[in-house]
Chain A
Amino acid sequence: MYVALDDVNKNYGDYKASDHVSFSIEKGKLTGLLGPSGSGKTTILRMIAGLETPDSGTISIDGTVVNDIPASKRGIGFVFQNYALFSYMSVYDNIAFGLSVKKVPKDRIKSRVNELISLVGLKGMENRYPSQLSGGQRQRVAFARAIAPGPKLLLLDEPFAAIDAKVRVELRTWLKEMIEKLSITSIFVTHDQDEAIEVADQIIIIDHGRVEQSGTPVEIYQQPRTAFTASFVGNATVIPDYHIFSHFEDIHGANTAVIRPEFLHLTRAGEVEQFPNSSEVGTVESILFRGSHMEIKVWVKGSLLTVNRPIEESRVEIGEKVHIFIYQIFVTTRDKVYHLKNKALYDDSVVI
């Protein structure tokens, strides 16, 4: 394991920023720390960097415990949320800073910086100042600056938060490619699950300073292991008591369930329905055009469920009575998630 945290705790007064945090990261992997804002993910990143000190527990990088090694000696590249470019230095000087601090000879700095400038695609902008760059260009400079001294580990704090939506998607792909190309172990922090799922090899879900779950994006999405993960990932609707839907197995002591749009199918009156007897009846509350599909909110037995409907299919109307078939749900207890399928899917007697 390349980076390992073992039982790390950090408190700010009464506030538990890190609560028995343990996880490990493989060499060369791109890991995303995903959690809502205030979940403590940035604190974890800053402790790995050495910008914060844990109250207890150990952090090791490449087999060495780094708790007592200052940030400047850890050999880590860090990309800050707002990039923290040196505003009084040109693009060239920004990227050269780490090397010049290390007293690398001028000609070697020059060749390295020029190499990085063309790598990140900023040729011709060497003499510009950060204030003269767009958000995306600033991020590229911040990235080049962080990797210039050849760090073994790269940390990125909300790398895409300060960029507008269109460029963000483009930069995600770019960053993933860059990191793969350089095969540098990287950890980034994000509150955006799409970003984590798209970019990361491994996702670690953080909430209230605790690690909720760690795994590949597919595992996190399809097999949530905690109530928090189930409700945080995906476009989840939380149902206080799933027993109102009668077609699911009864789990003793469990009431709460999580339903995602892809668990549901909407059928209008007159359309062919696969499981008419196991469907619920709902009333359309709102319809949102999402480009590739319609996002429809439907009241079903007192719960407002979200269901997607392909744009090619006939339009539903607000107030219309529709049938909703629930394929599956995640039933959650405090520390367990049950993945339940609708009985109609395996009970022959119900099928038409």
Chain B
Amino acid sequence: MKEKGNSKAIKWLLIIISAVFLFIMVIMPLFTVISGALQKGLGFYIGAITDKYTLKALILTIKAAFASVIVTSIFGLIAAWAVTRYSFPGKKIIKSIIDIPVTISPVICGMIFLLLFGRQGFIYPLLDKVGIDVIFAVPGIIIVTVFVTLPMVFREIVPVLEARGTQEEEAAAMMGADGWTIFRRVTFPSVKWPFIYGIILSASRAMGEFGAVSVISGHLRGLTNTLPLHIEILFNEFNTTEAFAVSSILVILSIALMLLRLLLQQYSSRKRT
């Protein structure tokens, strides 16, 4: 009986510690963002979030996130398929290289691309000839965003494909199915949910990316500012309320993605059982 009482106390202790931490570290800051955003009234808030530069930053952020989602999902599927379904020399190296974008600091990512595409970079003469601006321009922002989110979908799919092995695909092939049919009807259904999850992860990551984008964008208001950069500028200009108001957009977007993920997860688990 004593042991049972003990374990009950431990259970509640652990729950309370987690709850307090969550409250201090997550709920309170979120609340601060919302209350900070509304401290000068709803009218000011709406004004701040419909500001011309804010909207431009929002559009650029969504563009970059969209591009990175497209690239990471296509790349993720192809690379995951290649790595789990074929054996070739250098496979292990590829699997480690794919992790680099998540393991190195985003600021360094930004600098790498700055050096690569900048005036000293060896690609610059080529780009200059064609007339494409990468550095301090939208393409650069999209490139670094893609870079930092690159492994997201891949990382979600690979463990599932590895765990499942190739037998179901062989079985389908034995029955005369072609590659596309096998992918569509056998392989993809098994990675569908990790795939969607990876997309949501990379979208959230892309929208919040600051370091790499900050280095490469040049902070041109209305041109190369994404939401996180815009927030920083507002904050540095002591427009705290506006900074909070714009932040609330990102917070709302993140929460929306999180809810979407939760909803999908529930839907998928209901369908499986």
Contact = CB atoms under 8 A, between A and B. Distances in A.
6 contacts: A50-B174, A71-B173, A84-B170, A98-B176, A131-B272, A145-B171
A82 B166 CA distance: 12
Given A80-B170, A84-B168, A86-B172, A97 B190 contact: no
B131 interface: no
Given A97-B172, A129-B272, A84 B177 contact: no
A97 B170 CA distance: 13
B186 A86 contact: yes
Contacts of A98: 175-176
B178 A72 contact: yes
B174 A102 contact: no
Contacts of B189: 88-89
Interface string B162-203: 001001101111111110010001100110000000000000
A149 B176 contact: yes
Contacts of A146: 174
A71 to B, nearest CB: 6
Q: Which 8 interchain pairs have the tightest Cβ spacing?
A: A98-B175, A84-B167, A88-B189, A84-B171, A78-B174, A72-B176, A101-B177, A84-B168
A21 interface: no
A161 to B, nearest CB: 14
Q: Interface range on chain B: under 10, 10 to 19, 20 to 34, or 35 or more?
A: 10 to 19
B175 A88 contact: no
B168 A72 contact: no
Interface string A47-83: 0011100000000000000000001110011101010
B154 to A, nearest CB: 21
Given A51-B170, A82-B167, 13 more contacts: A72-B174, A72-B175, A73-B176, A80-B170, A84-B170, A84-B171, A86-B172, A88-B186, A88-B190, A89-B189, A97-B175, A101-B172, A131-B272
A149 B171 CA distance: 13
A167 B83 CA distance: 38
Contacts of B171: 78, 80, 84-86, 145
Q: Is the interface of B mostly helix, strand, loop or mixed?
A: helix
Interface string A123-137: 000000101000000
Contacts of B167: 80, 82, 84
Contacts of B190: 87-88
A51 B164 CA distance: 18
B174 to A, nearest CB: 5
Given A86-B168, A86-B186, A101-B181, A49 B175 contact: no
Interface of A: 49-51, 71-73, 76-78, 80, 82, 84-89, 97-98, 101-102, 129, 131, 145-146, 149
B225 to A, nearest CB: 44
Contact of B174 (A77, A82, A87, A129): A77
Nearest to A98: B175
B200 to A, nearest CB: 21
A263 B229 CA distance: 88
Contacts of A86: 168, 171-172, 185-186
Nearest to A77: B174
Contacts of A84: 167-168, 170-171
A271 to B, nearest CB: 56
Contacts of B272: 129, 131
A132 B170 CA distance: 22
A187 B178 CA distance: 25
Contacts of B174: 49-51, 71-72, 76-78, 146
B146 to A, nearest CB: 30
Contacts of A129: 272
A149 B175 contact: yes
A136 B172 CA distance: 21
Nearest to A79: B171
Contacts of A71: 170, 173-174
A129 B272 CA distance: 8
A76 B168 CA distance: 16
Nearest to B176: A72
Contacts of A131: 272
A32 B43 CA distance: 82
A135 to B, nearest CB: 16
Among B167, B170, B171: residue with most chain A CB under 10 A? B171
Nearest to A99: B175
A84 B170 CA distance: 9
